[in-house]
Structure 1
Amino acid sequence: MPFSKKKTGVLLINLGTPEATDYFSIRRYLKEFLSDHRIVNLPPILWKTILHLMILPRRPFITGRNYQRIWDEAKDGSPLRYYTRRQAELLAHRLADKEIQVEWAMRYGTPSVAEKIDSLQKKHCHKILILPLYPQYSATTHASALDAVYKHLLTLTNQPAITVVPAFAKSDLYLSALTSHLQKELTKLSFSPEKILLSFHGIPKKMAEKDYLYPQDCLFTAQKLREKMQLSEEEMPLTYQSRFGGAEWLQPYTVDTVKNLAHHGIKNLAIMAPGFFSDCLETLDELGREIKEIFLKEGGENFAVIPCLNDSEEAVNLLGEIICPSEETF
């Protein structure tokens, strides 16, 4: 396809979400997600047997109920889809004077990475900046998103030039955005938190031995955020959530930490999830419902989850500042 006017495109990529909360929509999503070798690193024959015989027949019922609790038809159903789309729209408006085309995609589900690369090419973009929306690098997220990009490029005769924006956990732009956002959100609370928990998505400990950049990035983010907030490690501890299965994962676990804090007399707790750029099932339902219920049951009194950056001014400015230097040096 000839380019009549060469342009630059930006593709924001987030993890993914089902199209609806019914059994078959959830099953399709889980099948794609759990078939990624970056997510489950077991012998293929063994894992396919477990996946198709034990997980996919039953898990969609549980996961579907979880999604139903956070689903909002007025906002395109899935919060993750809504906020990722909003980020792309607001970023496009911010970059309008540069004639940069902005699209968004999901690694799993729709709209797909392949679909949106094709869309940018149809808009005459001969250069595409890929921005995975994962601040901390992990093979399970950042690398998997790039797998989808490169897989589609293999099918193209006329490939666009690709630049990948690296994970930005150590960027002062990101850390400053988190700090500003956290400070604003704390003023909205009706109570003063005794501790602010920083909860990151966990990964199996065995996987982390190879995927060692991820825990390093999480520790760095926590350390720098404490410095900017002038809080100690005790006042702002780091934990890992979303453990699945019986294997040992990165620790300390969020659920155990919350129980222990309540047992030791902490009555007022706030949780922030810096590794999630947009609110999703893990922040709204796991933290906002499951962890909250545990804290209150164990003796806590006030609990709040700090919203993710979402479509805030801090989020859009951060994306714009990350993209512009990359676009200029393309």
Structure 2
Amino acid sequence: MLDASPTATCPAHAPADHPAVKPEKVGILLANLGTPDHYSYWPMRRYLGEFLSDKRVIDYPAWKWQPLLQLIILTKRPFASGAAYKSIWNHDKGESPLMTITKDQTHEMAQAMEAIYGDQVMVDFCMRYGNPSTKSKVDEMVAAGCRKILFVPLYPQYAGATSGTANDEFFRALMEQTWQPAARTIEPYFDQPEYIDALAKSVEEAYAKAEKKPDILVCSYHGMPKRYLMQGDPYHCQCQKTTRLLRERLGWGESQITTTFQSVFGPEEWLRPYTVEHVAELAKQGKKRIAVIAPAFSADCIETLEEINEEIFESFEHAGGEDFTYIPCLNESAGHISALSKMIQNNLKGWLD
């Protein structure tokens, strides 16, 4: 994908029977969480089975977790999750919104990189769960002559269950290569000025369009068990810093913005406050107009289009809330692509200057 590699040739001074070798280039591999191939039962079951079997996501012992997962959760959950996906599905293209947006992001990034580096780079994307798999895209890049690969998990804040597991899968793919390329992974970019500026501009644009100014902006991040924080995962701290930097960039007071966490799963305590509960509490406190943004997501997906726009909105409305504004993810916006492009350029130094 997005590659126009010259034909492979026999290296100079090599014997005539030497295998043909593609000219060297640098691969830029964007990575997102993943998506089921369809919202029907079996594709949903395959996707959820892969996702919920990841030890980075659910770290319970296999002997305890797998029977529960295989016999109970994967018997029922694909129906509920499938219905949620169906409600947001891109029926015209036969794919989830996350897939559509990630393709668009990749296209925009490929054009941006080609303008800077010409045919020295190959830009593509992979998914941690589902298709296209990380392994398949690493295989394609190596076959196309990529002797160096920059791996770019599209998660602003680091978490073991997002960036960490994406990197794990990338390294596993490298283990299967006969001739391994040099590899780099990017750092979290939650505090990069270009990313914060892109977030701030999306907020400013949404507020400018609103008929009535929201009373408060809720920054809703994907949740994780509190236990992970206590074990040293930096995600919670990076989320809090993202909100603070966004507030400072907007020039707001502390009462105008708050941090919450969504997508709670299982019986143990997760990072608090929970978005679905907090928006209801805000409504009861008299904050009848709120805006919600999801700074941990690089692309709109099931957690934003369905969970925020439906479940969290309904919680706010039922508690007496009146005006609910969802501010879309940065997606393939010019500001987002520019921020990612600058970050990628910084990480390519020494490889391509």
TM-score per shorter chain, which class?
over 0.9
Residues of 2 paired with 1:115 and 1:306: CA distance?
34
**Which runs of structure 2 are paired with 1:64-143 in the superposition (5 Å)?**
64-97=82-115, 98=117, 99=119, 100-143=121-164
TM-score, structure 2 length as denominator? 0.91
Contact 1:94 1:320 in 2 (8 A): yes
Structure 2 residues without counterparts, runs of 5 or longer: 1-18
What SS does structure 2 have at the residue aligned with 1:282? helix
Q: Identify which of 166, 171, 179 aligns with 1:145.
A: 166
Residues of 1 paired with 2:114 and 2:78: CA distance?
41
Counterpart residue number, 2:248: 227
The alpha-carbon deviation at position 30 of structure 1 amounts to 0.2
The alpha-carbon deviation at position 277 of structure 1 amounts to 0.5
Structure 2 residue 229 is matched with structure 1 residue 208: yes
The alpha-carbon deviation at position 189 of structure 1 amounts to 2.5
Question: Would the alpha carbon gap of residues 288 and 36 (structure 1) be closer, same or farther in structure 2, given more than 3 Å must change?
Answer: same
Contact 2:277 2:315 in 1 (8 A): no
Residues of 2 paired with 1:95 and 1:285: CA distance?
33
Q: Identify which of 25, 47, 51 aligns with 1:29.
A: 47
Counterpart residue number, 1:61: 79
Aligned residue pairs, count: 330
Sequence identity (%) = 38
Residues of 2 paired with 1:104 and 1:160: CA distance?
17
Structure 2 residue 179 is matched with structure 1 residue 183: no
Counterpart residue number, 2:279: 258
The alpha-carbon deviation at position 187 of structure 1 amounts to 2.0
Moved more, 173-182 or 268-277: 173-182
Cα-to-partner distance string for 1:152-209 (whole Å, 9 max, x where unaligned):
1111111111011111112112111211222123223333111110000110111221
Q: 2:311 is matched by which residue type in structure 1?
A: E
The alpha-carbon deviation at position 75 of structure 1 amounts to 4.2
Cα-to-partner distance string for 1:4-63 (whole Å, 9 max, x where unaligned):
311111000000110000000100000000010000011111111110111001100100
Contact 1:129 1:162 in 2 (8 A): yes
Residues of 2 paired with 1:265 and 1:180: CA distance?
27
Q: Identify which of 288, 294, 299 aligns with 1:267.
A: 288
Cα-to-partner distance string for 1:99-137 (whole Å, 9 max, x where unaligned):
221000100000000111111122211111000000000
The alpha-carbon deviation at position 211 of structure 1 amounts to 4.0
Moved more, 97-106 or 214-223: 97-106
Residues of 2 paired with 1:125 and 1:2: CA distance?
14
Structure 2 residue 253 is matched with structure 1 residue 245: no
TM-score, structure 1 length as denominator? 0.97
Residues of 1 paired with 2:343 and 2:93: CA distance?
27
Counterpart residue number, 1:157: 178
Residues of 2 paired with 1:57 and 1:211: CA distance?
34
Which of the pair has more CA radius of gyration?
2
Contact 1:86 1:311 in 2 (8 A): yes
Residues of 2 paired with 1:247 and 1:216: CA distance?
20
Moved more, 96-105 or 32-41: 96-105
Contact 1:139 1:211 in 2 (8 A): no
Residues of 1 paired with 2:93 and 2:247: CA distance?
34
Counterpart residue number, 1:19: 37
Residues of 2 paired with 1:278 and 1:198: CA distance?
15
Structure 2 residue 64 is matched with structure 1 residue 43: no
Question: Would the alpha carbon gap of residues 76 and 86 (structure 1) be closer, same or farther in structure 2, given more than 3 Å must change?
Answer: farther
Contact 1:181 1:314 in 2 (8 A): no
The alpha-carbon deviation at position 314 of structure 1 amounts to 1.0
Residues of 1 paired with 2:21 and 2:150: CA distance?
17
Contact 2:29 2:151 in 1 (8 A): yes
The alpha-carbon deviation at position 2 of structure 1 amounts to 5.4
Residues of 2 paired with 1:113 and 1:203: CA distance?
24
Residues of 2 paired with 1:49 and 1:173: CA distance?
45
Question: Would the alpha carbon gap of residues 161 and 255 (structure 1) be closer, same or farther in structure 2, given more than 3 Å must change?
Answer: same
Residues of 2 paired with 1:284 and 1:202: CA distance?
16
Contact 1:76 1:82 in 2 (8 A): no
Cα-to-partner distance string for 1:206-245 (whole Å, 9 max, x where unaligned):
1221243111100110111010111222210100111112
Q: 2:283 is matched by which residue type in structure 1?
A: A
Contact 2:48 2:74 in 1 (8 A): yes
Counterpart residue number, 1:317: 338
Moved more, 227-236 or 23-32: 227-236
